[in-house]
Structure formats: structure tokens, C-alpha cells
């Protein structure tokens, strides 16, 4: 049997939000000796995670068919980024965009995860990601997503990088519409798009 692939179903960002995420990421990367979350020197893409898990390669086609039906007729979701939040202890602090409470986004996640979980519940290991050297935290995050990070524990955000951002920040509003499946790398960064579509 082939090894499961670690994937994330995500919203990719409109240009203005992606550019702001990359701007802050570049500043954060400059504060680190090395950073595994780098949007400027790697293919990693800022994104909103919606459902993460492990899937067998032969089930990808079935997953994309489910997502095409699920997304048909769905409307874009308006999101407000109202703050920056830093979690974790040095040297593993992570800064993210945090959103205003959003019932539509929470419902979208719940309905989506109920649909895809039967296909995305394979346990991943270090061979499931794009790179060879994968941290135990990344493997555990994917394997524990159902129990620890979904439904009532869902925390929609945009990871910006390692370190703490010390500068002023203005809130942003945007429509989340670009819906995609990404292959994961270390720190659960999205570096390769398998499939994408757009909500209306």
C-alpha cells in the first residue's frame, strides 16, 4: 500500500492579503537565524486551513469530486482580520493573523470536515510530507487534527511566521473564495496545490 499524503484543504488568499502576509513574514524571517516558515524564499503559500489529514493517493480523485459538488453554489465568505496573535515559547513562537468570530466560516469548516474525514483519516509519518526532514510536531498536528483542531476546537487563522511582530497593524477585510487542496511540508506549510476552485 502506498504511503498516505499529508494534505490541507484551504482558502488561498486574495492578492492584497497575500502581499500583507508576505510583508510581515519577511520581517519575521529577518529576526530569525533560520525559519521554516518563509513565504519569500520558498514555494510556501499563506493560507487558511479548513481541514487537514492524511489521504491515500488513490483517493485524491474521489476527494476532488466531493469538493466540486460541495463547493458548487457556495458563496465567498467575508472575513475580517482584526488582530495579530503570537503563540508558543521562544524560539518556537508563531505569529498569525486572527479573525473576528465568523459563524459562516465555522459552519463551512464543520460541513466540509464531516464530508471529507472518511477519506482523510489515514495516519501520516515523515514520508507523507514534501520534504525528508519533518518535525514530530508537524506529524502530530496532522494526525491529531480531528481530535484537537476541528469542530469546536477549530481556530481559523493565517500563520505569518516564527517570531513576534512588534509593529503597528491595521485590520483587513476580504472575501475568501479560492478553495484548494495543498500538499503539506514541515510546520504544515502549503507548498504544492493539487486542486483548486473558486466559490461564487
Evaluate whether residue 42 is within a structural domain: yes
Count of structural domains, the chain:
1
pLDDT of residue 167: 87
- Phi then psi for residue 36, to 5 deg, are -80, -10
Q: Which residue has the higher pLDDT, 168 or 3?
A: 3
Evaluate whether residue 57 is within a structural domain: yes
Distance CA 143, CA 18 (A): 28
Round the CA-based radius of gyration of the chain to a whole number and report it.
16
Domain harbouring 129, CATH code: 3.90.1140
DSSP one-letter string for 133-192: ---HHHHHHHHTHHHHSSGGG---EEEEEES---S----EEEEE-EEEEEEE-GGG-EEE
Residue with cell 491515500: 56
The reply to whether the predicted model has a pTM over 0.75 is: yes
**Which domain does 148 fall in, by range?**
5-77+103-155+178-198
The pLDDT mean for the chain works out to 94
pLDDT tens-digit readout, 72-106:
989 999 999 999 999 987 767 899 999 999 999 99
pLDDT tens-digit readout, 5-51:
999 999 999 999 999 999 999 999 887 777 789 898 889 999 999 99
Helices (H) then strands (E): counts for the chain = 5, 8
Task: Give exposure, 99-117, as e/b (b: 16+ Cβ within 10 Å).
Answer: beebeebeebbeebbebbe
Amino acid at each position: 500500500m502506498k504511503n498516505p499524503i499529508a494534505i490541507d484543504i484551504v482558502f488561498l488568499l486574495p492578492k492584497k492579503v497575500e502581499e500583507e502576509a508576505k510583508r510581515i513574514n519577511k520581517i519575521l524571517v529577518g529576526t530569525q537565524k533560520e525559519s521554516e516558515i518563509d513565504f519569500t524564499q520558498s514555494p510556501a503559500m499563506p493560507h487558511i486551513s479548513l481541514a487537514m489529514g492524511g489521504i491515500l493517493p488513490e483517493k485524491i480523485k474521489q476527494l476532488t469530486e466531493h469538493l466540486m459538488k460541495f463547493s458548487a453554489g457556495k458563496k465567498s465568505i467575508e472575513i475580517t482580520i482584526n488582530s495579530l496573535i503570537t503563540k508558543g515559547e521562544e524560539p518556537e513562537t508563531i505569529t498569525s493573523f486572527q479573525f473576528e468570530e465568523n459563524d459562516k466560516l465555522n459552519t463551512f469548516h464543520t460541513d466540509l470536515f464531516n464530508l471529507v474525514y472518511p477519506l482523510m483519516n489515514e495516519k501520516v509519518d515523515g514520508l507523507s510530507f514534501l520534504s525528508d526532514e519533518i518535525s514530530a510536531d508537524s506529524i502530530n498536528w496532522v494526525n491529531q487534527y480531528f481530535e484537537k483542531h476541528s469542530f469546536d476546537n477549530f481556530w481559523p487563522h493565517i500563520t505569518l511566521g516564527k517570531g513576534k511582530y512588534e509593529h503597528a497593524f491595521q485590520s483587513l477585510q476580504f472575501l475568501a473564495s479560492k478553495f484548494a487542496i495543498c500538499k503539506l511540508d514541515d510546520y504544515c506549510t502549503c507548498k504544492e496545490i493539487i486542486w483548486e476552485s473558486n466559490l461564487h
